[in-house]
Structure 1
Amino acid sequence: MKICILGAGVIGLTTAWCLAEAGYDVVIVDRHASTAKDASAANGAQLSYAFVAPLASPATLKKLPSLLLSRNSPMRIRAGLDPALISWAARFLLACRPGAVRETVAAQLALAALSRSELTRLTQNLRLSFGLRTAGKLVIHRSAREFKTACRSVVAAGEEHGQQILSAAECLALEPALQLDADQLAGGIFTASEQVGDCAAFCAALTVRLRQRRNVEWLLDTPIIGPVRAGGRLVAVDTGKGQIAADHFVLCMGAASGAFARACGFYLPIYPLKGYSITLAPPPQARVLRHSITDMARKLVFAPLARDGRSAVRIAGIADLESNDMTLDGGRIDILRRAAAELLGIEAAGDIAPWCGLRPATPDSRPIIGWSPLEGLFINSGHGMLGWTLACGSARLTADMIERKRPATETSPFALRRAA
């Protein structure tokens, strides 16, 4: 049986591996000449298995007016009267209900646990090198009110995820690279088991392994134009290099997935969230960042990485709703520069490797994993800001469902038509 993977980012590549490993003939199609060129290229680098709270929540709903009106807000709308955004936003508001949030967190935690297990298996079996390490994650809170809410969540969860509540002084003692005073923090939540890793390096290493398999075919530098249907079934995709026929297709096109779904005749609630990152090498005198940091007030993440054999820091965040605009906004990059200076005392100058990408977000932040209304088309897309974290687990679920095996975790929370 031949399965065509549409998209060669981290979701597409992991899906391709799981299906090729199961014995299927796999063909990987992507518009770029190499893999991991879109949202997988320079994401936040955090593998966040315990912190999977959705963007849609009662807290976000309360802050929405100020978030959208502030010039330096981590979230901004510049898409105008985009019908796709209006439809997505209506569903986003419904996803802010407490019950919906609880369902999302439970589902994402289960998928994240599976993803961690699968990533470990791939890393060990294939001997992949991409800077994976258990750095631990410190989430710092500046607001006393928000810190109390976070503490209640930790207490309610018990010790399941090994989270520790730290005072401001304990946060600064844990991470000496933080250049903050104790009175600038309310406290923090630390999870020692959280990991970091370079997603682009992972994709490059996995690409090498995929190229070594005889049952994997590559069609890169091949723009996907649209579907070819026959008798209510997807039988091929039309590309800039002709038609590609297969028995099944898996949609892993990230932010472009919605447009492909529309061409197939159904609605996929995915909208691009434009994110930014910079990757910088601290000066020799700077203290090396030991742990992954999330600044909740600014919705920014800081991850220690290796770059060209030297210590580096990836600073990422921002969620702009700008349709498919890929313009690199200097003002948004400046937000990340200032954050580097304030939190880490690093004055980012020339070599900062600025980047922006479109993260495929669903209204409730859960990915869509399952069969589409069009026969022959499977969906594995919509991972939003957790694509790197959830990729390997999503690939495992996709392979299990296509093989008609019993999935490793419940799949109904990720269906296109969510369970009632």
Structure 2
Amino acid sequence: MSTIIIIGSGITGVTTAYALACRGYSVTVFDRHRYPAMDTSFANGGQLSASNAEVWNNAATIVKGLRWMLRKDAPLLLNPSPSFHKYTWLAEFVGQIRHYRRNTIETTKLAIAARQHLFELADRESIAFDLERRGILHVYSSKADFDAASRVNQLLLQGGLDRRPVTPSEMLALEPALRDQYYGGFFTPSDSTGDIHKFTRGLAAACERRGVRFVFGAEIFGMQADRDGVVVRWKQGPLREELKAERAVVCAGVGSRRIASMLGDKINIYPVKGYSITVELGDETSQKAAPRVSLLDEATKIVTSRLGEDRFRVAGTAEFNGENRDIRWDRIKPLVRWVERSFPDVSTAQVVPWAGLRPMTPSMMPRVGRGKRPNIFYNTGHGHLGWTLSAVTAEMVADVIATDDSKTRLSRSVA
């Protein structure tokens, strides 16, 4: 049985471990945390959203970013302090504008393919994760925003997505809890939401039932690969250990850049911070007032998910501030205010804040496939769509590895 090491137990690492275990591989997963899904896969916006597949590489994003630089509560915030990595990443990001259409269409196709894989494995392993298959409603306050969304919608349609414009009255019929006045919206009935943390923990347990080994609290300080295999070296407190395997898959989120450098690969991932709040719906009035249909408010770049009867997840913002996980009140406050303005009957007396780092490549496309060495693979850099794309990229990288094995066995039998 072939042995494979996976670095990272977030959503991409665990889906990859599961895909490989189902193909008969012996898998060991390393993570620096004590449990799976404790970093970026802990409390994201909850959307499984092909409708959010538009990559950010366009001139409008640049203009908005420059306009928002001096606003602490801006949806997109760039810390202007000097950083070689940040500014070289931004330069590559600008260079990818020419691929905006192609990458948006390709991401849409990946997102549509991913949802079926995810639903199938959730059913197979009986994973409960507060799934809501009520669609996602994008709302627009102005004609200008709606017209811009109409142009984006043409690309999503080319990618195969069923997404349609809706009038204010149709929006209210879809989600009666809406209070604000909107110019119009777009509705994607096939999109859904769920709790990424519950899903990843449930899938990790399924992996263990299939023989996957998890090594938690492991700080990776060395990794090398040659024709004889892959060696990973890690620390657990004062103990230093190492493990050898035939292959390795790097699924380490924002840590992938550091791991890749040990292996001679350049993976240009920047940590783009996002924030969320989980509003505890502790009374019947709040439960009735909070929306069931997932929303994306274009003006504020805020997304929502209803997680069961008693939780309402609200997330947003993009902050370019290095590998900084601090939870800033000036970034949380706009999320709370948005809830109070949009759904005034929802109590915000109990709100749990969170911040996580999205691993973003300059092209906004995930890095999936081989490294320079034939026994090193990557499944990382999914940005704001890790939850949405994870199930299909895990299958993609597992298929590449399985195909390699098939070719090797064939060549040996011929010889």
Q: TM-score, normalised by structure 1?
A: 0.89
The residue that corresponds to 1:176 in the other structure is 176
1:106 is matched by which residue type in structure 2? I
Q: 1-side partners of 2:160 and 2:232: how far apart?
A: 45
Maintained 8 Å contact 2:225/2:231: yes
Structure 1 partner of 2:189 = 192
C-alpha contact (below 8 Å) 1:234/1:377 kept by paired residues? no
Task: Tell me how far apart the structure 2 counterparts of residues 79 and 229 of structure 1 sit (CA, whole Å).
Answer: 38
The 1:280–1:125 alpha-carbon spacing in structure 2 relative to 1, beyond 3 Å, is: same
Gaps of 5+ in 2: 406-415
Q: Percent identity?
A: 32
What's 2:247 paired with?
A: 248
Contact 1:61/1:96 (CA < 8 Å) preserved in 2?
Answer: no
Question: Could you tell me which amino acid in structure 1 is paired with residue 391 of structure 2?
Answer: C
What is aligned with 1:40? 41
For residue 27 of structure 2, give the secondary structure of its aligned residue in structure 1.
Answer: strand
The alpha-carbon deviation at position 155 of structure 1 amounts to: 5.6
Residue of structure 2 aligned with 1:235, choices 230, 234, 237? 230
For 1:393, the equivalent position in structure 2 comes to 392
Runs (4+) off by over 6 Å: none
What is the CA distance between 1:82 and its match in structure 2? 1.2
Q: Deviations over 1:346-405 (max 9, x none)?
A: 565442111101110111211000101234210100000000000100100010111127
Query: Shift in Å at residue 229 of structure 1?
Result: 4.2
SS of equivalent residue, structure 1 residue 353: strand
Structure 1 residues 26 and 79: alpha-carbon distance in aligned structure 2, compared to 1, 3 A threshold: farther
Name 1:304's counterpart in structure 2: 306
CA distance in 1, matches of 2:362, 2:158: 28
Q: Aligned-pair distance for 1:198? A: 0.6
- AA paired with 2:74? S
Deviations 1:115-143 (A, max 9, x none): 11111210121111111121111101122
Q: Which position in structure 2 is the counterpart of 1:77?
A: 78
With over 3 angstroms needed to count, the CA separation of the structure-2 counterparts of 1:347 and 1:28, relative to structure 1, is: same
Report what 2:17 is aligned to: 16
SS in 2 for 1:114: helix
Q: TM-score, normalised by structure 2?
A: 0.90
C-alpha contact (below 8 Å) 1:175/1:289 kept by paired residues: yes
SS in 2 for 1:80: coil
Residues 382, 234 of structure 1: alpha-carbon distance in 2 compared, 3 angstrom cutoff = farther
Separation in structure 1 between the aligned mates of residue 68 and residue 172 of structure 2, nearest angstrom: 28
Superposed CA offset, 1:265-312 (max 9, x none): 332111001111011123422324120000111111011112xxx332
User: How far apart are the structure 2 equivalents of 1:8 and 1:338?
Assistant: 33
Alignment length, in residue pairs? Answer: 396
The one-letter amino acid paired with 1:172 is: L
**CA positional deviation for 1:344:** 1.7
Report the CA distance between 1:159 and its aligned residue: 11
Q: 2:222 aligns with which of 204, 223, 226?
A: 226
Q: Distance in 2 between matches of 1:340 and 1:127?
A: 33
Which amino acid in the other structure matches residue 137 of structure 2?
L
The aligned counterpart of 2:381 is: 382
Preserved CA contact (<8 Å) 1:67 1:76: yes
- Displacement of 1:172 in angstroms is 3.0
| 1:311 aligned partner, one-letter code | D
Q: CA offsets per residue over residues 48-82 of structure 1, 9 Å max, x none?
A: 02330012223212322113232221111226211
1:144 deviates by 1.1
Counterparts of 2:267 and 2:387, CA distance in 1: 21
Query: Is 1:324 matched with 2:323?
Result: yes
Q: Which string of whole-angstrom CA distances, capped at 9 and with x for unpartnered residues, describes residues 237-273 of structure 1?
A: 1100411211111000001111112232332111001
Q: Distance in 2 between matches of 1:108 and 1:352?
A: 33
| DSSP-derived class of the 1:387 partner | helix
2:322, 2:113 → 1: CA distance?
32
RMSD, aligned CA: 2.0
SS in 1 for 2:52: coil
Indicate the residue corresponding to 1:357 in structure 2: 356
Alpha carbons 1:234, 1:374 under 8 Å: kept:
no
Contact in 1 for aligned 2:108/2:159 (Cα 8 Å)? no
Q: Which moved more, 1:32-41 or 1:86-95?
A: 86-95
In the TM superposition, residue 107 of structure 1 has moved relative to its aligned partner by 1.4
TM-fit CA distance, 1:162: 2.6
- Confirm or deny: 8 A CA contact 2:108 2:160 kept in the other structure: no
